[in-house]
Amino acid sequence: MPNYHDMSLVELKQEAKNHTPKIKQYYIKSRAELISILSMNKFSDEMILAKKTITELRKEAKEKNYAGIWKLRRSELVELLYPSTKKENKDDDRRDKHDDPKKGERQ
């Protein structure tokens, strides 16, 4: 593993460009961000999913024998293939917990 702290920004961007799995928007990241990302042993699922193309997602869906994948959008394919990531986001949704301001008004 190379010492990223000794590399210039240009060298870090070249490393990020050739990195597997791919790093999303590596070309606009700061030197510190690139060092942090390149130093990770394992990328988060969100980082990996963000970089997958619709072609890669369709290939995965085809391998899992899902029907009607060609009409789905990228976000729908992600939800179909990785329902746990969508569920985690849904758990954080707190819209139902807000009180209706009209209920507290006096008449």
29-47 per-position pLDDT tens digit? 999 999 999 998 888 888 8
Task: Give the pLDDT score at 45.
Answer: 81
Q: Is residue 100 part of a domain?
A: no
Cβ burial of 4 (10 Å; 0-12, 13-18, 19+) is: middle
Q: Is the domain of 76 the same as that of 39?
A: no
Task: Give the pLDDT score at 2.
Answer: 83
Q: Is residue 104 part of a domain?
A: no
Task: Give the pLDDT score at 84.
Answer: 76
Q: Is the domain of 56 the same as that of 45?
A: no
Full residue range of the structural domain in which residue 71 is found: 52-93
Phi–psi pair at 94, nearest 5 degrees: -115, 20
Cβ burial of 83 (10 Å; 0-12, 13-18, 19+) is: exposed
If phi > 0 it is left, if psi is from -120 to 50 it is alpha, else beta; for residue 30 that is beta
Measure the CA dihedral 83/76/21/15, to 10°.
-130
Total domains present in the chain: 2
13-22 per-position pLDDT tens digit? 999 999 888 8
